[in-house]
Amino acid sequence: MIIYRARVFDTPTSPFAGGTLRAEADVALVVDRGLIVSRTAFATARSAHPDAEVIDLRDGVLIPGLVDTHVHYPQVRAIGHLGRPLLEWLDRCALPEEARLADADYAKALAADFLRGLTAAGTTSAMVFGSHFASAMDALFQQAAEVGLRITSGLVTSDRNLPEPLLTTVERSVAESQDLIDRWHGRGRLRFAVTPRFSYSAGQELLAAGGALLAENPGIFVTSHLNENRDEIAGVSALFPEAHDYLDTYDRAGLLGRRTILAHNVHPGERELTRLGESGAAVAHCSTSNSTLASGFFPLRRHIEHGVRVALGSDVGAGTGFSLLKEGVQAYFMQQLDPSGGVALTPAHLLHLATAAGAQALELDAEVGDLSVGKRFDAAYIEPTPGEPLAVGIRHAGSDEDALAKIFAMGTPGDIARVWVDGELVKG
């Protein structure tokens, strides 16, 4: 039993549905084997559990562990190539690096770099876009199990329009995926996701084979890309003349449902938004990536109007790093600047998008996403160095919302002093 005495910010009710920031200046979270069993005044917790260890976190701010709904494991060393649109960036920057994961030793080193990036940024759960190589997926799952993060990921599949070493066949993709599912799905905090790279590089039969895997393996997820870039969309339209639109290429293959997370959707049609809303699929909004690749302004307002679930993704390596604080403030910037009229995002919206919304998209919201009684203790403790601008800003903030705004505006992984998953320390 541990009592965490802290200033806690979370969003148990969505600010998109009338909720506000829940901020408590001095609250005790009583954690028993990873489970938050009580949330109360410190004196009450102390007298109920006189022998419990007390961890005093009142010098900073405790928030729920961050949830990244779109982040590419093979691209950790490819972050920071600027100045190219999607298809050129893939050819020149991302795919040559992804081919290197054919070497299992290279993949092992990369998996370590990748998982360190996540934990350092305070990310405790993620939908991880995997590798085209099954051996590289073993390296990721193995190390993720050791670190303890909640990782959903799968073998990336493609059978056209990519460099030859990254291509597979329908038969091979099914055999390798099923083998990974059998060995990793449901083991500890790990789950499997069917992952066609995008319809631009995956034919109808390959997509349908993913749909069959989904039907045969209850509880697995789906992730891919959608409507990111106009050239990509035109390419998909030419490759799938019979499909209504880009989303329909996944829908026809049986890949659309509540366990589906599709990244980007910067240029959706009305039919696609309606179908996303109906199906319960979630969209990962990757704001720094949308800026880096000049993909466009994410139409958040239209997603909300159609009841589409949205959360944040870092989209490393087109995104500029693992920090969901940065993704949050960039989402804010782009909504502010969108000439077609963005949503005025408050700090509470940003926290919600970076935590509870992601937990919902990953169907982890019964366990994590906020710091209520009954949830597992996944948390990030923000404690900037005293005297640094963020520490000064938090100290002099006029309100809790103001303090949270400063955390998003100025916070970096360097300000995240400690991170827990299920009550276990994974950083600090």
Q: Which residues bind Zn ion (CB under 5 A)?
A: 263, 315
Beta strands in 251-393 (DSSP E): 260-264, 282-285, 309-312, 379-382
Cα–Cα nearest to 200, from 87, 302, 293: 87
Q: Judged by CB, which is closer to Zn ion: 31, or 263?
A: 263
Residues in the chain: 428
- Between strands 22-32 and 35-40, the pairing is antiparallel
Q: Judged by CB, which is closer to ligand GUN: 11, or 330?
A: 330
Cα–Cα distance for residue pair 218/230, rounded to 1 Å: 34
The entry of Zn ion, ligand GUN, none near residue 262 (CB within 5 to 8 angstroms by kind) is: none
Residue 223: CB minimum distance to Zn ion, A = 9
> Total residues at the site for ligand GUN (CB under 6 A)?
11
Q: Does residue 308 bind ligand GUN (CB under 6 A)?
A: no
Q: Which stretch binds ligand GUN (CB under 6 A): 86-94, 277-285, 361-369, 407-415?
A: 86-94
Count of CA atoms in the C-beta half-sphere (13 A) of 391: 13
Residue 90: CB minimum distance to ligand GUN, A = 6
Q: Does residue 86 bind ligand GUN (CB under 6 A)?
A: yes
H or E, element range at 114: helix 104-120
Residue 18: CB minimum distance to ligand GUN, A = 33
Q: Judged by CB, which is closer to Zn ion: 159, or 315?
A: 315
Q: Judged by CB, which is closer to ligand GUN: 11, or 292?
A: 292
Count of CA atoms in the C-beta half-sphere (13 A) of 191: 19
Q: Judged by CB, which is closer to ligand GUN: 215, or 294?
A: 294
Q: Is residue 164 classed exposed, middle or buried when 0-12, 13-18 and 19+ CB atoms within 10 A define those classes?
A: exposed
Give the footprint of ligand GUN on residues 261-300 (CB under 6 A).
289
Cα–Cα distance for residue pair 127/259, rounded to 1 Å: 11
Cα–Cα distance for residue pair 98/295, rounded to 1 Å: 21
Residue 201: CB minimum distance to Zn ion, A = 12
First to last CA, the chain: 19
Cα–Cα distance for residue pair 412/389, rounded to 1 Å: 12
Count of CA atoms in the C-beta half-sphere (13 A) of 293: 28
Q: Does residue 310 bind ligand GUN (CB under 6 A)?
A: no
* Contact in structure between 193 and 152 (CB atoms under 8 Å): yes
The entry of ligand GUN, Zn ion, none near residue 111 (CB within 5 to 8 angstroms by kind) is: none
Q: Is the peptide bond before 414 cis (omega within 30 degrees of 0)?
A: no
- Of 94, 110, 253, 281, the residue at the interface with ligand GUN (CB under 6 A) is 94
- Of 228, 383, 400, 422, the residue at the interface with ligand GUN (CB under 6 A) is 228
Q: Coil, strand or helix: which one is 39? A: strand
The entry of Zn ion, ligand GUN, none near residue 198 (CB within 5 to 8 angstroms by kind) is: ligand GUN
Give the footprint of ligand GUN on residues 315-354 (CB under 6 A).
315, 318
Q: Does residue 72 bind ligand GUN (CB under 6 A)?
A: yes
Q: Judged by CB, which is closer to ligand GUN: 11, or 295?
A: 295
Residue 129: CB minimum distance to ligand GUN, A = 7
Residue ranges in contact with ligand GUN by CB under 6 A: 72, 86, 90, 94, 197-198, 225, 228, 289, 315, 318
